[in-house]
Structure 1
Amino acid sequence: MMRTEAPPLASVEGAAFAYRGRAALRGLDLTGVRGTTLALLGPNGAGKTSLIRLLAGRLRPDAGSVRVLGGDPHADRATRRKIGFVPQEIALYPRLTVTENLDVFARLAGLKRGERREAVAAAIARCALAAVAGRVVATLSGGYQRRVNIAASLLASPDLILLDEPTQGVDLDARASIHAVLAGLRAGGAGLVVSTHDFSEAERLADRVAILADGRIRLEGSLAALMRPLAAAPPEHEAVLESPPDATAEAALWRSGFSPLGTDARFWRADHGAAGGLDGAALLTALRERGVPVAEIRVRRPGLETLYRDSLAEGLGLETAA
């Protein structure tokens, strides 16, 4: 008897989508796998949220296909039940308790009366919410509210969990708690897709990363494989200025191998140790002698942020790492 291969957890093939006449996704291909976390990185407007909403079935692609366990999440309600969607906004009832909120979402998920109590208890346990289960949501910290937001997505025991900026605006302790929840979900066999702007978060959580820009994937693959070539790379230097540079200081930075880091004119970066081979202290002295108002030089090993910046640089083609 021939064996039939199970469909991938999620697959996106040639997906295109436009919003208000602007192309948000341009023929994008991507695959999600059980028991792994895929981090989506990219600047604002890159298409990350559109991609997550396509996977959730909230949007339908203008071209191409989106499948979750072989089904169409936009057209098939049974497929949507296999998906947990955690939006960037807190989508809770602020005047209800945690337990009451989860009971409402369990009803909306179509769970029968006999199933709801067990599902709510399981979600509270998985997200470590027992201490606040009886409290009104409006009285909770932002970190707890985000954990309740995640718990609401787990009530139907989804196979695929989609999270859009799950730790936005929370403190370090809350972030660590949310990371522990997500790691537990992955260990339990769920597939996770996490959109984030936080490189350290992506490095901590992800098995695979996909970097998007202008509706296309610029770089995608195993995080370990993508990071491997950087292990032997020389350190990077980041110059932090006391104030934006004048024309003379800016010219000196360029001549020293630095380029602007983002939109804040006080931050400059020298790619892969290109700043004349000087160590941090010598570079600080050299830049000050050239009239650059530099406050400090940060030296660090290149990491995911380096891959991100390089992948968005002009002229880089599509790449994939197994």
Structure 2
Amino acid sequence: MGGPEDQVPLVEIVDATLSYRGREVLTGIDLTAPAGRTLALLGPNGAGKTSLMRLVAGRLPPDAGRVRVGGADPFRAPATRRAIGWVPQEIALYPRLTVAENLGVFAQLAGIGRRARKAAVEAALAFTDVAEVAGRPVGLLSGGYQRRVNIAASLMGRPRLVLLDEPTQGVDLAARAAIHAVLGRLRQDGAAILLATHDFAEAERLADDVAFMAGGRIVREGPLAELLARIRAGAPEHEIALALPPDQAAEAALRRAGFGPVDTGLTWRASGRGGHTLDGAALLGALRRQGVPVSEVRVRTPGLDALYLDALQSGTSGAAASRPRPLRAAR
């Protein structure tokens, strides 16, 4: 991924396979990530996102294939592992220690000498904008501050690659914006960022590239702008909001019309590939005449969520799921 100006990718994974307790959790993974770009991993729970990040972080070796970060095997090269910042989904901090004390511990673990440690802690505090809480115990901080300190701890070794697993889970909008600002600064500084998230808005805002995973495979990957441009080249999506859960007859009518449920089942969506020729008002009337409790019809430009559904539906529909498939633009 990336433009022609990119040289050797910082992260290179070739045909990597991983098994856990006798079960294959990653199969035939091929992926690259250059410096200075953000790659978002998207997929359902159990798709293999965290396992893939553990391979890249050097926490696990692949059973087959190759994983390289900066040209070296992160599992076998301690210096390479130290150049990787790992931010797990859980808060990996000492709750009774202050923020500054936590960062001091992680600086020591990163191999930073005592004389340089204070400056490194101060730099991380400033970079993640948490200096105002440096003297407070981590356990007394809000979830948003804890997550920013979690990121700060991963930066003590000035990593070239930062891996983040659901970095904004459970935080409010203000904390989310603060975390996004930190990730933006990391990207501007030339770091490669690998981000696993379930948040489509977050991925669409932050990512340069995306990789969709299902069943331990990458079913589609590429530059986000290019993939979105292809899916938006066709007809817009129709989205239906229901006043009540549909009964069996209403659900059958929706599916005949090319709609499928999303979220709680009160929202149903069909892309332009469904072949809709009716405008919103005509579609509303046609469905209501069939007993569908429609409260609203929306016509929307397809976004990352539509791209995700298309990737998973096409990528898991048979043996061809073993390799990324090209996105089909609507006709």
Normalising to structure 1: TM-score of the pair? 0.92
- Which amino acid is the alignment partner of residue 170 of structure 1? V
Answering whether residue 253 of structure 2 is matched by residue 247 of structure 1, we say no
Aligned residue number for residue 77 of structure 1: 78
With over 3 angstroms needed to count, the CA separation of the structure-2 counterparts of 1:6 and 1:231, relative to structure 1, is closer
Aligned residue number for residue 271 of structure 2: 271
**TM-fit CA distance, 1:202:** 1.0
**TM-fit CA distance, 1:6:** 7.3
Aligned residue number for residue 98 of structure 1: 99
Could you tell me how far apart the structure 1 residues matched to 2:326 and 2:159 are? Answer: 28
Could you tell me how far apart the structure 2 residues matched to 1:30 and 1:86 are? Answer: 20
**TM alignment of 1:181-196, pairs within 5 A:** 181-196=182-197
Which 4+ runs in 1 deviate beyond 4 A?
none
SS of residue in 2 equivalent to 1:75: coil
Could you tell me how far apart the structure 2 residues matched to 1:312 and 1:230 are? Answer: 14
| Of 307, 325, 330, the match for 1:319 | 325
Could you tell me how far apart the structure 2 residues matched to 1:168 and 1:280 are? Answer: 35
**TM-fit CA distance, 1:28:** 0.6
Do 2:39 and 2:193's aligned partners in 1 also have CA atoms closer than 8 Å? yes
- The count of residues paired between Structure 1 and Structure 2 equals 316
Specify every segment of 5 or more residues in structure 2 that has no aligned partner in the other structure, as ranges: 1-5
- Which amino acid is the alignment partner of residue 148 of structure 1? V
Answering whether residue 305 of structure 2 is matched by residue 299 of structure 1, we say no
Specify every segment of 5 or more residues in structure 1 that has no aligned partner in the other structure, as ranges: none
Do 1:56 and 1:80's aligned partners in 2 also have CA atoms closer than 8 Å? yes
**TM alignment of 1:126-145, pairs within 5 A:** 126-145=127-146
Do 1:221 and 1:320's aligned partners in 2 also have CA atoms closer than 8 Å? no
**TM-fit CA distance, 1:320:** 5.8
**TM-fit CA distance, 1:181:** 0.5
Could you tell me how far apart the structure 2 residues matched to 1:153 and 1:33 are? Answer: 19
Normalising to structure 2: TM-score of the pair? 0.90
- Which amino acid is the alignment partner of residue 220 of structure 1? E
Could you tell me how far apart the structure 1 residues matched to 2:188 and 2:326 are? Answer: 25
**TM-fit CA distance, 1:251:** 1.4
**TM-fit CA distance, 1:219:** 0.7
Percent of aligned pairs sharing the same letter: 61
| Deviation digits for residues 279-319 of structure 1 (CA, Å, limit 9, x no counterpart) | 33443343233211233333310122111111111256623
Could you tell me how far apart the structure 1 residues matched to 2:93 and 2:86 are? Answer: 13
SS of residue in 2 equivalent to 1:211: strand
| Deviation digits for residues 160-210 of structure 1 (CA, Å, limit 9, x no counterpart) | 100011111111111111111101000001010001111111111111111
Do 1:237 and 1:275's aligned partners in 2 also have CA atoms closer than 8 Å? no
Could you tell me how far apart the structure 2 residues matched to 1:141 and 1:237 are? Answer: 39
SS of residue in 2 equivalent to 1:125: helix
